Structure 1
């Protein structure tokens, strides 16, 4: 006895005829008759009285009708409950990321997660790299993208990507263009750090990671930085170098935000001798088990990073 046979039985009883039930079920009448006889044999009871006018249920048939309807109703309820269960991981995950990288990476990540795992809710904390690290140490984020931090006590860190740092700005008189070296691979030209340091620079203060990287390189080479404007606001810095007030150092992830396509004298050059780079690691709490939802977010961050790099949308190097 199975659910399909019970549905056949109910259809015969409600139709009052094997032929009418067979038509509504799209089943051949001999096959339906065989199913009813098999059911009667299994139960050891006659379920219908048959006549030329059709079939009428016996007392056993009436009892089975009540029980069968209840069983089928329960089976439908079970199916609905199972189908309503969450499909895949579910939960909330907070990601902390440096704001320059967030504008490039987090859009594709959130869009991919919305499509593949709609029951995972992602909250983003985009801030200075120093504040991203603090958010992880304070347990305010489940996943963090740290800058130039391969390891940190209390956190489990894995490499994500490394990118070059560029100089960009308006070269109104062509002075900077004369300092550039073309590359054999056709990528952006290069400029030596010592020459870039002498340009009029628009930089954020020393508490920002890019400024710290530039200061360390200058100290190693024994050269000074020609800083003409210093502001903490990224928007103010962008406004300054885009209006021609100076040049700035920027990571590859923000080149699209830094560009000024309306100006033909716009220069973008990779810093060399030494080459400046910025490396990112994915961090989670070392003493906390990564749950299924968080692991999905981590995997998506890695996958979307790889897609951006391989598509040439992010000039970065993936870990070996």
Structure 2
């Protein structure tokens, strides 16, 4: 594994399409494909899945991306002494969100090299100056600038009795068995949806990742409430709207209020605000 391979991987991750990554790197598409294959062989893991709109990063790719960006940033810092006097802005991006929205944000940030700052992409657990996150995660001194909303939907096997209903409401979840991811949608949050029901919901299994949650649903362990981002690309289970329930995740920019109008923060914020998140 070398810096050139990492730069190719980053290009594919950020662009979301092999053709765009090839144009960005100034090479042919087969070259991009071969580099990704070599990288996958080195890691012993799959990095991308082919989809109708391009390539979709796997969980391993999400983890590698943040490490690769940091390695390449440090390498650039060593090779380009001019960076010593350039301000660094740390932008935090959660790894679990819609791949398409993820890539739009990353492409936009990558094009901001002309504003005279070094943009450092951070994992959500790392300190950052600006971050993309949920409104209920903001601190008292942070400003929330809304970008898009995501709905929670019911994920069930095709043969589940609920899937026979023309419309599913919270009252239909009375006594239904659920599988949950305690970190993102725990028993308390499900209880809010089913608070008017006579019987409490029953949690049959816990999952600590999106793939495991989907696998448990497929295997018939129970239903799951999952966001649009978590269900993106999922086709082998039934995905149903929950009528009469406004369960939303509000995503936006989180930034300390005093910094929002300052340069270069305002430039980064304005660039992200121009993204059309409604289109794929």
The alpha-carbon deviation at position 269 of structure 1 amounts to: 0.9
The aligned counterpart of 1:149 is 136
Q: Residue 178 and residue 283 in structure 1: after superposition, are their counterparts in 2 closer, same or farther (change >3 A)?
A: same
Distance 1:242 1:178 in 2: 17
Unaligned runs of at least 5 residues, structure 1: 1-85, 182-190, 314-320
Distance 1:159 1:222 in 2: 36
Asked whether the 8 Å contact 1:120–1:293 carries over to 2, the reply is no
The structure having more radius of gyration, on CA atoms, is 1
Asked whether the 8 Å contact 2:148–2:277 carries over to 1, the reply is no
Within-5 A mapping of 1:1-320: 91-101=87-97, 103-117=99-113, 120-126=118-124, 140-149=127-136, 152-172=139-159, 175-181=161-167, 191-196=168-173, 198-205=175-182, 207-209=183-185, 212-219=188-195, 221=197, 223-257=199-233, 259-260=234-235, 263=236, 266-288=237-259, 291-304=262-275, 307-309=276-278, 311=279, 313=280
For normalisation by structure 2, the TM-score amounts to: 0.58
Q: Compute the RMSD of aligned alpha carbons.
A: 3.1
Asked whether the 8 Å contact 1:104–1:254 carries over to 2, the reply is no
What is the aligned residue count?
A: 194
Distance 2:175 2:169 in 1: 10
The alpha-carbon deviation at position 242 of structure 1 amounts to: 3.8
Asked whether the 8 Å contact 1:164–1:271 carries over to 2, the reply is no
Distance 1:211 1:99 in 2: 23
Asked whether the 8 Å contact 2:147–2:252 carries over to 1, the reply is yes
Asked whether the 8 Å contact 2:98–2:230 carries over to 1, the reply is no
Distance 1:178 1:210 in 2: 26
The alpha-carbon deviation at position 250 of structure 1 amounts to: 0.9
Distance 1:294 1:210 in 2: 35
Distance 1:107 1:197 in 2: 39
The alpha-carbon deviation at position 142 of structure 1 amounts to: 1.2
Distance 2:231 2:95 in 1: 13
Asked whether the 8 Å contact 1:143–1:282 carries over to 2, the reply is yes
Asked whether the 8 Å contact 2:177–2:223 carries over to 1, the reply is yes
Distance 1:219 1:233 in 2: 26
Asked whether the 8 Å contact 1:104–1:253 carries over to 2, the reply is no
Distance 1:290 1:98 in 2: 23
Asked whether the 8 Å contact 2:156–2:163 carries over to 1, the reply is no
The alpha-carbon deviation at position 108 of structure 1 amounts to: 1.4
For normalisation by structure 1, the TM-score amounts to: 0.51
The alpha-carbon deviation at position 144 of structure 1 amounts to: 2.5
Unaligned runs of at least 5 residues, structure 2: 1-81
Distance 2:174 2:248 in 1: 16
